[in-house]
A = this chain, B = another copy of it.
Amino acid sequence: MGAMTATAPDQGPASDSEDALTALTGLVKDDLAACNRVIIEKMQSPVALIPQLAAHLIAAGGKRLRPLLTLAAARLCGYPAGGPRHVTLAACVEFIHTATLLHDDVVDASALRRGQASANALFGNEASVLVGDFLFARAFQLMVQDGSLEVMAILSAASATIAEGEVLQLMTQNDTATTEQQYLDVIEGKTAALFAAATRLGAIVADRPEVEKDALETYGRALGTAFQLIDDALDYSAEQERLGKTVGDDFREGKITLPVLLAFARGSEAERTFWRRTLEDGAQEATDLAEAQALMQRHAALADTVARARQYGDQALAALARFPEGPERRAMAGIVEFCIARAR
């Protein structure tokens, strides 16, 4: 993906960015282990299919990026290692994320998730919907255990915003007249809102002033937006093994993402006819994905999507500036690079 790497020449090699995730994970290692124990404990139910299906996703070994961010943000704000509040809330965040994945798999009819067969392919749509509901309810039970109305306000609002983003995505699907603003609304809802809540929680448990809560929320929202922009670029570029999912999913589903919007806007009338046929009418042939990729290459659509992610990444870095230099801040800055470096 040469065109994409060219947009971020000042970044180190990918292995440095992988190290950033390792660094962050190492920094909150014990808290993350405690969070994992809460997750395993709270996904239990006498109804055997629930832990079974939940374990399928848990075992699939996600990066735990969102709970990691809650743990790191809390530590950045001076909240003591060992918790327990940031541990509990990190588990909440992961439950909400997992619930949306389960419901998203139903929506997208995806065959793969993190390189494995998706839960709905294995267990059926019905079970995926219901176990998602269970995890969502469990997240709120955990919040009750934590006992803060402020936390509940943030995570219930984020949950509503996620659903709004997903519905908006449904409404813009197959519609090449979607605007960039609508696309940004979609990804801010479906992805950035939970990142923003996850990081704000760190300042809340540490009882920091409003400006610090806002700064961490800004960091999370910008990071989440960058993360999703890269995801949307990757769907047209990375090898399936690297991404852990089928390349071309978005194309096949007629999802309107920034790479599409850029290629469409910059394309000839003949190219727009191609995009309308494949994305609006859903009339796709075997060679169409390669053609879509070639058009994106021609119009630098992926490179410019990555450049846009870089801008959001810089916003995230700027928001960190008000916090004291140290291993937490370095690790959280490293995560910005990690998210963007996935596009190489």
Residues of A at the B interface (CB closer than 8 Å) are 45-50, 99-100, 103, 106-107, 124-127, 129-131, 133-134, 136-138, 140-141, 143-144, 147, 149, 152-153, 156-157, 159-160, 162-164, 166-168, 170-171
Bound complex: CA A134 to CA B147 (Å):
23
**Given A133-B159, A159-B133; A170-B140 close (CB under 8 Å):** no
B contact residues around A171 at 8 Å (CB): 47-49
- For the complex formed, measure the closest distance between the CB of A333 and the CB atoms of chain B, giving whole angstroms: 31
A159 engages B140 (CB within 8 Å): yes
A-B contact pairs, 22 of them (CB 8 A): A47-B164, A48-B171, A49-B171, A50-B164, A50-B167, A103-B130, A106-B106, A106-B126, A107-B129, A107-B130, A133-B136, A133-B159, A133-B162, A134-B160, A134-B164, A134-B167, A136-B159, A137-B162, A137-B163, A141-B160, A143-B152, A147-B149
**Cα(A208)–Cα(B5), bound, Å:** 65
A238 to chain B, nearest CB (A): 26
Cα–Cα distance between A206 and B109 once the two chains are bound (Å) = 47
Complex Cα spacing A48 to B167, Å: 9
Measured in the bound complex, the distance between the Cα atoms of B103 and A107 in whole Å is 12
Most buried by B among A47, A131, A134: A47
A104 vs chain B, min Cβ distance (A): 9
Contacting pair B126 A46 (CB below 8 A): no
- What is the chain B residue whose CB lies nearest that of A147? B149
Contacts of A168 in B (CB 8 A): 47
A130 contact from B136, B140, B166, Cβ within 8 A? B166
CB distance from A11 to the nearest CB of B (A): 36
Tell whether, in the assembled complex, residue A130 and residue B47 are in contact, meaning their CB atoms are under 8 Å apart: no
Q: State which of B103, B106, B137, B159 has its C-beta within 8 Å of the C-beta of A160.
A: B137
Q: A137-B162, A140-B140 are in contact. List 14 more A-B contacts (CB 8 A).
A: A49-B171, A50-B163, A106-B129, A127-B170, A130-B170, A131-B163, A133-B163, A134-B163, A138-B156, A141-B157, A144-B149, A144-B152, A144-B156, A149-B149
Cα(A46)–Cα(B170), bound, Å = 14
Q: Closest approach, in angstroms, between the C-beta of A189 and any C-beta of chain B?
A: 8
- Given known A-B contacts A106-B125, A152-B152, A153-B144, A130 and B160 have beta carbons under 8 A apart: no
Q: Inside 8 A of A48's CB, which chain B residues have their CB?
A: 171
Contact present for B156 and A140 (CB under 8 Å): yes
Interface core residue of A124, A126, A131, A168 (most chain B CB under 10 Å): A126
In the bound complex, residues from chain B placing their C-beta under 8 Å from that of A149 are 144, 147, 149
Residues of chain B with a CB closer than 8 A to A50's CB: 163-164, 167
Pairwise interchain contact B141-A126, C-beta atoms closer than 8 A: no
Pairwise interchain contact B167-A130, C-beta atoms closer than 8 A: yes
- Expressed in whole angstroms, the minimum distance between the Cβ of A321 and any Cβ of chain B is 32
Contacts of A134 in B (CB 8 A): 160, 163-164, 167
A75 → chain B closest CB, angstroms: 27
CB distance from A167 to the nearest CB of B (A): 5
A241 CA to B107 CA, complexed, in Å:
32
Q: Give the distance in Å from the alpha carbon of A124 to the alpha carbon of B109 in the complex.
A: 13
